[in-house]
Amino acid sequence: MSKEFSDAELDCYIEETLDAERASELELLLREDAALLQRLAEINSRRSSGRHTLGGIWRQNQIGVPSSDEMGSFLLGVLDDQHADYIQFRIDVLKCPFTIALKTDLENQQSESADASVKRRAKIFESSVGLLKPKD
């Protein structure tokens, strides 16, 4: 367990955008580290007074989060390598909850669409079975 938390991570924790594993580590450490708790309170106070960091503004406005079209292209594997690497970086390293949620939503839509297509084909086949005549 890493005990070092950056101000950016504490900011993410307040915004509830810190990945779950890291947030759990922080919550355990906050119970026993008064200095860390004080840092978190100072960051929260700064945010409440309207002073924001550049990183906070980026996160709040979801700057850099891929669009649905970009994520769809990523899932299809048709993005150029640099763009695909950037999206993978947002997922693996930044653990951006917005990017991960978008990816999950599109994957679920793909899966549902594929299931619906299979069911539609089966229905068409079942409804036409009696109409097909064997060749003589």
Per-residue b/e over 92-129, b at no fewer than 16 CB within 10 Å? Answer: eebbbbebeebbeebeeeeeeeeeeeeeeeeeeeeeee
Assess whether 55 and 73 both reside in one domain.
no
Assess whether 39 and 89 both reside in one domain.
no
Task: Quick: pLDDT tens for 57-107.
Answer: 777 778 889 999 999 999 999 999 999 999 999 999 988 888 999 999 999
- Is residue 108 a part of any domain in this protein? yes
pLDDT at res. 77: 94
pTM: predicted TM-score of the whole model, two decimal places: 0.57
Assess whether 114 and 103 both reside in one domain.
yes
- Is residue 120 a part of any domain in this protein? yes
Assess whether 76 and 59 both reside in one domain.
no
pLDDT at res. 131: 65
Residue 28 — very low, low, confident or very high, per pLDDT cuts 50/70/90? Answer: very high
- Is residue 136 a part of any domain in this protein? no
Q: Which domain holds residue 74?
A: 65-130
